[in-house]
Amino acid sequence: MDVVIVGGGPNGMMLACELALGGVRPIVLERSTEPSEEPRSNGLVGQVVRMVDRRGLFERLSDRPGPPQPNSGYFMFAAMPLDLGLLDDSPLYNLPVPESTLVRVLAERAAALGAEIRRGHELTGLAQDDDGVALTVRGPAGRDYELRTRYVVGADGAHSPVRKAAGIGFPGVTYDRTTSRTAHAVVPHDRLDPTTGALEVPGHGPVLPFLPVRTARGGFSYAPLPGLPPLVATVEWDQPASGEPLTFDEMRDSITRVLGVEVPIEPPPGEGPHVLRRINGGSTRVADRYRDGRVFLVGDAAHVFAAGGTGLNLGLQDAINLGWKLAAAIRGGADVLDTYAAERRPIADRAITYSQAQAALLSPGDDITGLRRLFGELLTRSDVVRVLADLVAGADVRHPVGDGAHPLAGWPAPDLTLRTAGGAVRLAELVRGGTPLLIDLSERGDLRADGIEVVRATADTDVSALLLRPDSYVVWASSEARPDQEELRIAVERWFGVPADA
């Protein structure tokens, strides 16, 4: 085997798709025998939405035509409104989609591309040497068998057996003061504002959809997700919780404590599955390394966050970043595997800042209330909103590119519309095959890149050339009328392994 992925959730399936696009047929081992229908995450936010579009999946996941549009309305940061209308160009994109739907779509795509998905197969042992990794796997009949593979990727969650077997540490902080409760619930129709969609709470005020409310006693949110019953959630501090499963009465009591008034909620009709869960505490942890020899980690196996909801957004981008690099190493291209951790770890560290800052601003107490009041004043400034919007979107970390590189190098490719001989086309449509791409916008249109597809076009930009990796990041760019062919050759050799004398 070339690559075995342990874990068939969204990150494992996305990685399988990326490897298959790169010409590698992976095996996915998933312990569960059937896809989970348990409600978990409810959507994607930020740069990952653009990447989903660049793999041709946005319309299918969003169930609407056209490319994603930036959110120019409002978002939230620590239960405070982030007015994106203050920005000329919002970096925030939203894609509401249940995790079960995301996994199903990615699994179908992975299988269609040639990945082998083995359900009911559990990793029980791992040992690596210089040439590969030996895996012991328990199959559906309870019989153990062995696999030999060149690389293993743990996409198996926060309690990752792959991470533990490889001896990779998972340092961080566990918070035990908070209790979070979440439930699908029905609210009386006359409590909903037909114009804003807000939940009217007499004695407290309107609760806007998807904008959490923080009080001195805790937090509350109301999320009317498409195609699902509304989701209500609370978070409280230092509130003893029963060891028994969460009940609707307990959910109602928690809302009353947080808001100071009762909110009439009822269980949704039908069999579901519906959310009704309690989580005590939370953790913020990042693996001390993303790679150990031939073992790699993606998603929750590499990082978890106590607040902010960033885990899935980061995990899918981990998979997209690692997939083409593993495929290149296996096919004999440039070995850029060490850049995986160098690029993805700083983004996880940035997400820690995001998570910890929100947790602090959501904490109880009058002193935090005063801090929030001051912070709210800052949020009326467009420059502050820009910083936070980029942080939420994951659009504020540039990949290392070295001194003197073009300003676009190290960032995702811009959303350009290209005028080619065959007509106008979005750049996002040209990168769906997951291969390197040279966009030649120069006056002469004579750039060459051995082994790289070249698209010659014009566009409304001052950039004359872009060299893109399979994950759409810019590794070389020029704004010169006649781009430097030698600089381009060096970049191609560095990232894609084309010999200098090819």
What is the model's pLDDT at position 247? 94
Say how far apart CA 146 and CA 124 lie, in whole Å.
10
pTM, 2 dp: 0.92
What is the model's pLDDT at position 272? 78
Q: What is the DSSP string of 39-88?
A: ----EEESHHHHHHHTTT-HHHHHTSSS------SEEEETTEEEEGGGSS
Say how far apart CA 141 and CA 90 lie, in whole Å.
52
Is residue 143 classed as helix, strand or coil in its secondary structure?
Answer: coil
Cβ burial 192-205 (10 Å sphere, 16+ → b, else e): beeeeebbbbeebe
Nearest to 256 by CA among 272, 232, 223: 232
* Whether the predicted pLDDT of 307 surpasses 80: no
Q: Residue type at 303?
A: H
Among 113-117, 181-185, 363-367, whose mean pLDDT is lowest? 363-367
Spell out the domain ranges in the chain.
Answer: 173-283, 411-496
322 and 376 Cβ atoms separated by less than 8 Å? no
In a 10 Å sphere around its CB, with 0-12 CB exposed, 13-18 middle and 19+ buried, how is residue 356 labelled? Answer: middle
Q: Which residues contact 146 (CB under 8 A, 6 or more apart)?
A: 134, 135, 136, 137
Say how far apart CA 362 and CA 364 lie, in whole Å.
7
Q: Residue type at 331?
A: R
Is residue 218 classed as helix, strand or coil in its secondary structure?
Answer: strand
Which tens digits make up the pLDDT trace of 33-73? 988 777 677 789 999 999 999 999 999 999 989 899 999 99
Residues of the chain with pLDDT > 90, as a percent, come to 74
Which tens digits make up the pLDDT trace of 126-171? 999 999 999 999 999 889 999 999 999 999 999 999 999 999 999 9
Q: Residue type at 360?
A: A
CATH number, domain 411-496, options 3.10.20.30, 3.40.30.10, 2.70.98.20, 3.40.30.120 = 3.40.30.120
Q: How would you list the strands of the sheet with 303-304, edge to edge?
A: 213-215, 218-223, 231-237, 172-184, 276-286, 303-304
Per CATH, domain 173-283 is 3.30.70.2450: yes
